[in-house]
Amino acid sequence: MARVRLEHVTKRYDDVVAVDDMNVEIEDGEFVCLVGPSGCGKSTTMETIAGLTRPSEGTVYIGDTDVTNLAPKDRGVAMVFQNIALFPHMDVFDNVSFGLRLRTFDDDEVERRVEQAADIVQLEGMLDRMPDEMSGGQRQRVAIARAIVRNPDVFLMDEPLANLDAKLRVHMRTELQRLHRELETTIIYVTHDQAEAMTMSDRIAVINAGELQQIDPPLVCYNEPANLFVAGFIGSPSMNFVRGEVVADGLETKNFTLEFDPAGATGVGVGDDVTLGVRPEDVHLSRNADDLSRPTRGIEVTTDVLEPMGDEIFVYLVLDEGAERTMEEDPLDSPDQLLMSVSPDTDISEDETLEVVLDGSKIHLFDTASGEALVHGIADRSGSDPGTAPTEAED
Amino acid sequence: MTTARGDIRTGIVGLGNIGRYHAERLLELDVPLVGGMDVAADARTRFARRYDVDVYDDHHELYDAVDAIIITTPNKYHEEYAVDAFDQGLHVLLEKPLAHSLESAERIASAAADSDGYCMVGFNNRFANTVRIVSDRIERGELGDVSHIEANYVRRRGIPGRGSWFTRRQIAGGGALIDLGVHAIDLSLYLLGDPPIVEVTGVTRGEFGSREEYAYLDMWGDDAGPAGFDVDDSASAFIRTADDQTISLEVAWATNRPENNEFVVRGTESAAVFDLLDGDLSVHSASTAGPDHLEDTSIETRQNDTHTEEQRSFFDSIAAGEVDNESIQQALTVQRVIDGIYRSSETGRTVAIDEE
């Protein structure tokens, strides 16, 4: 087991900066997911930890050792990739034990380790099978067993479940969590699937355009996103965003006004150009909002499309009847629409005019220009609880 | 720890023409050739008689007796022999291409990364004197920013024996593109400084090998006719890097034009033009010194044996302990480009190359 630390790591390919001044500290035994859209630099970050890529600048530590210039095999890491790279000419035993003999283990020790790893990933009795005789899930277990036998300080996993079908992926998620509990080893896990990150990790590192946006426990990223990118990336469906301006008694947007006392919200000043963020589950029908501690004033809307999902209904709300009814591709630029999630037994239909409120305690305000979070939760003038300023994201 | 080149016990896997070609150069370099392995009995017998070394039909037996191996087998078998060598910590000089498929290439690269063994992939053209001159001039900034390379490796009638492994997709993984294109792509990326690749678009064709009436003067190997041919015999492609440097690629085993192996390396200050077939090298630029003028300079140098230089580099790196995984990573990029061109040709679309 070991702590992993990146200090000012930058990876540059000529003019392209894949990783930009990354500073991350991952604790011993932690399960950390690196998430972000395709091409954001999360895999390159992991490759610098693995030693597959040498950073242009910066230092990588595993434990207290500077491993920046060490070969992958000398770093005490074991990797599992998206492509289940089992050697087709070797049976499971030989696949799992690959490389062990180089580490000066005798045959008995190799056998003991392979059997122990096979036991952990539930592959007992399959050690003489060839890869083409196994299912996708079994092959991925072999790949994980191959990592386990190395007894690494750190597991590095790059989208290891991406090629499995949806059902198996969910099952393997649970398996990996169990594995982490059992081995108590540091795991760094790359995924573009935020649901995977939310369910498995102790902390999520959200990366965009090569830069670390936030590293925090999943619910902190969800409830207190450091900026607009994290707010939009974490959570499905995505957070609603509405641009507005802070005025003396609240926030003015194109289609509605929220009353709150800017003086009570740290970091927010009159005249600021801000973006309001609110998740679909924090938009409520006024008639069902009695339990909310801090509802905003009512906002008149018209329902557009309903999407029944079984356990909830997504309701597309039109704020401006005169506006064209299309969902904008950029959620940061859809001032005339809101997405609401309601329980499946809600009596609601399309083209219905009704009133909604936002849960003031779940409203986020972001600086529109910089994207940085200004406040999480605002108090309506009638309320007494001011919003909380965001804690500074770890850099 | 350093060792001497002459102490590196070396074996060859695959004892056909290329295997023997490598064996001759080992002798020149005073590297001890201690054995060979081939599944074909006649190849083993011929090799043993010529070089007076032990030969095996099981590579594991050879591996117990050597420090390094040279793999010259058909592409499909690279993985088994290379991975088993890495499992024993042997050093590997692997004839190009890295593998017959991208998936196999990735597995070989992952095994190499996990091994004490050093792997060099046999891109011998990098060691040509003309290439070394151009590379040094690029390094010194004499070409300015290199923005485009025209890469040609075109034969007029040069399909390897129809019916041999070269012309069977299942074993070779492709035809002219994977056999000749691999050299042209590697050399271009090498001269561009190994940039990340963004996308490729290309077309591969099988226009000659599949004909009954294929006209040719010479053929390497026997001709089994079109029944033994299911690969491409030419390809045209366009490759774009992350910095918008570009490569236009023309490769052919057979086409109706004179053969050449010409590279045009276009920079903002000058261009270098060289042909690996005859060693010609020239540099072209323009100047405002005095009246505007164009300048064409012909450069003469000795042609060298690129395979000998490749081997020298491989064994000297091992001897000096100066080994890294650059060669195999670069070969993996080349394989991604080749795979992308085949996919582009199949789908009729540009293919993004994801190196992340």
Q: What structural domains does chain A harbor?
A: 4-232 (3.40.50.300), 238-376 (no CATH)
Mean pLDDT of the B186-196 span: 96
- B contact test, residue of A87, A101, A139 with most B CBs within 10 A: A87
Task: Tell me the per-residue pLDDT of A94-138, one tens digit each, with 9 for 90 and over.
Answer: 999 998 877 778 889 999 999 988 988 888 899 999 999 998 888
Q: Sort out which chain A residues have CB atoms less than 8 A from B240's CB and list them.
A: none
Q: Sort out which chain B residues have CB atoms less than 8 A from A159's CB and list them.
A: none
- The rounded distance, in Å, linking the Cα atoms of B176 and B155 is 10
DSSP H or E segment with residue B285: strand B281-287
- Confidence class for position A393, pLDDT limits 50, 70, 90: very low
Kindly report whether the peptide bond that precedes residue A237 is cis, defined as omega within 30 degrees of 0: yes
The pLDDT of residue A295 is 86
A52, B83: Cβ pair inside 8 Å? no
B113, A52: Cβ pair inside 8 Å? yes
Q: Does the domain formed by B5-123+308-322 have CATH 3.40.50.720?
A: yes
Helix (H, G, I), strand (E, B) or coil at A177: helix
- Confidence class for position A383, pLDDT limits 50, 70, 90: very low
Q: At residue B176, what is the residue type? A: A
Least confident of A81-90, A142-151, B149-158, B160-169: A81-90
Full-model pTM:
0.79
Task: Tell me the per-residue pLDDT of A232-267, one tens digit each, with 9 for 90 and over.
Answer: 999 989 999 999 999 998 899 988 998 888 877 777
Kindly report whether the peptide bond that precedes residue A160 is cis, defined as omega within 30 degrees of 0: no
- Asked if the model's pLDDT at residue B354 lies above 90, the reply is no
Nearest to A157 by CA among A174, A171, A140: A140
Least confident of A384-393, B93-102, B296-305: A384-393
Q: Sort out which chain B residues have CB atoms less than 8 A from A14's CB and list them.
A: 193, 195, 242-243
Nearest to A308 by CA among A334, A346, A279, A354: A346
- Confidence class for position A329, pLDDT limits 50, 70, 90: low
The ipTM assigned to this model is: 0.85
What pairs with residue B296 in β-bridges? B284
- The rounded distance, in Å, linking the Cα atoms of A313 and A285 is 13
The pLDDT of residue A183 is 86
Q: Sort out which chain A residues have CB atoms less than 8 A from B116's CB and list them.
A: 73, 102
- The rounded distance, in Å, linking the Cα atoms of B104 and A247 is 62
Q: Which residues of A touch B (CB under 8 A)?
A: 13-16, 18, 38-39, 41-44, 51-52, 71-73, 79, 81, 83, 85-90, 98-99, 101-102
Checking phi first, is residue A200 left (phi over 0); if not, alpha (psi -120 to 50) or beta? alpha
* Contact (CB, 8 A) for B26 and B66: no
CATH code linked to domain B126-304+335-352: 3.30.360.10
Per-residue tokens: B87: 């499992």
A13, B80: Cβ pair inside 8 Å? no
Task: Tell me the per-residue pLDDT of A179-236, one tens digit each, with 9 for 90 and over.
Answer: 899 889 999 999 988 889 999 999 999 999 999 999 999 999 999 999 999 999 999 8
> Which spans in B271-325 are helix H?
306-320
Helix (H, G, I), strand (E, B) or coil at A18: strand
* Contact (CB, 8 A) for A387 and A208: no
Nearest to A9 by CA among A47, A48, A35, A41: A48
- Asked if the model's pLDDT at residue A384 lies above 60, the reply is no
Checking phi first, is residue B346 left (phi over 0); if not, alpha (psi -120 to 50) or beta? alpha
Query: Side by side, which strands form the sheet with A211-216?
Result: A77-81, A154-158, A186-191, A31-35, A203-208, A211-216
A99, B115: Cβ pair inside 8 Å? yes
* Contact (CB, 8 A) for A36 and A229: no
- The rounded distance, in Å, linking the Cα atoms of A259 and A251 is 6
- Asked if the model's pLDDT at residue B350 lies above 90, the reply is yes
For the beta carbon of residue A290, count every other beta carbon within 10 angstroms: 8
DSSP letter at A239 equals P
* Contact (CB, 8 A) for A124 and A118: yes
Q: At residue A103, what is the residue type? A: R
Pick B33 or A140 by higher pLDDT.
B33
Least confident of A169-178, B88-97, B225-234: A169-178
Mean pLDDT of the B347-355 span: 89
- Asked if the model's pLDDT at residue B270 lies above 70, the reply is yes
Q: Which residues of B touch A (CB under 8 A)?
A: 79-80, 83, 86-89, 103, 106-107, 110-111, 113-116, 193, 195-196, 242-243, 324-325, 329, 354, 356
A81, B325: Cβ pair inside 8 Å? no
Task: Tell me the per-residue pLDDT of B14-73, one tens digit each, with 9 for 90 and over.
Answer: 999 999 999 999 999 999 999 999 999 999 999 999 999 999 999 999 999 999 999 999
Where are chain B's structural domains? Answer: 5-123+308-322, 126-304+335-352
Nearest to B31 by CA among B322, B328, B313: B313
